[in-house]
Amino acid sequence: MRAVIFVTVGTTHFDALIRSVDDLVSGGELAGPVVYQIGAGQYEPLNGRFFRFKPSIDAELSEADLVITHGGATVFSLLAQHKRFVAVANTSLDGNHQAKFLAFLGERSSMVWTDDTTTLGACVSRVLSREPARLEAPSLASDLLAYMGVCDNRSA
């Protein structure tokens, strides 16, 4: 399937993800066009257009048929927009918080995520063969408060 693909890593670096997508494109496993938001990373992809930062990536998210993202807040937006996406945890960041966050959301949605960039091709194939991810929990508010360690004083 030929699709507009947007890859985003947020404000940090995630060269392993950018390189993995670039390799999938050069190997013919992904067909672009591909736009990469590479953040503070050092690797510059060879297969597609890239930029480091913009005030907003809303246009790129809107135009994309498939988004490959790190495990950050963009995941909420993609779930709300019913976009096809794969979330990839950046395990090099302190405390591996992205994998924990994605595991938490993965239990409450039909999203596809991984913490291993070598499985990205299989994850993309799975996402493209089914409906976009949806939240399965009626409300994440109390779950998120518990996840973040915030207690609800209203019940006291």
pLDDT at 2: 62
pLDDT tens per residue, range 89-122: 998 877 777 888 898 888 888 899 999 999 999 9
Homologous superfamily assigned to 5-151: Glycogen Phosphorylase B; (3.40.50.2000)
**Residue 84: count of CB within 10 angstroms of its CB:** 21
Instruction: Name the residue among 7, 2, 3 with its Cα closest to residue 117.
Output: 7
What pLDDT is attached to residue 3? Answer: 80
Which pLDDT does position 29 carry in this prediction?
93
Low-confidence ranges of the chain (pLDDT < 50): 150-156
Tokens of 96: 């591996």
Return the pLDDT at 109. Answer: 83
Distance CA(61)–CA(8), nearest Å, equals 9
**For the chain, what are the domain ranges?**
5-151
pLDDT of 80: 85
Tokens of 34: 């591909």
pLDDT at residue 152 in the model: 46
pLDDT at 148: 57
pTM of the model: 0.85
Alpha carbons 16 and 77: distance in angstroms, whole number = 23
Specify the pLDDT at position 156.
Answer: 38
Give the end-to-end CA distance of the chain in Å, rounded to a whole number: 54
CB distance 81 to 111 below 8 Å? no
DSSP character for 131?
A: P
Q: Output the pLDDT for position 125.
A: 94
Q: Buried b / exposed e across 16-44, counting CB within 10 Å, b at 16+?
A: bbbbbbbbbbeeeebeeebbbbbbebebe
Using DSSP's 3-state secondary structure scheme, residue 68 falls into strand
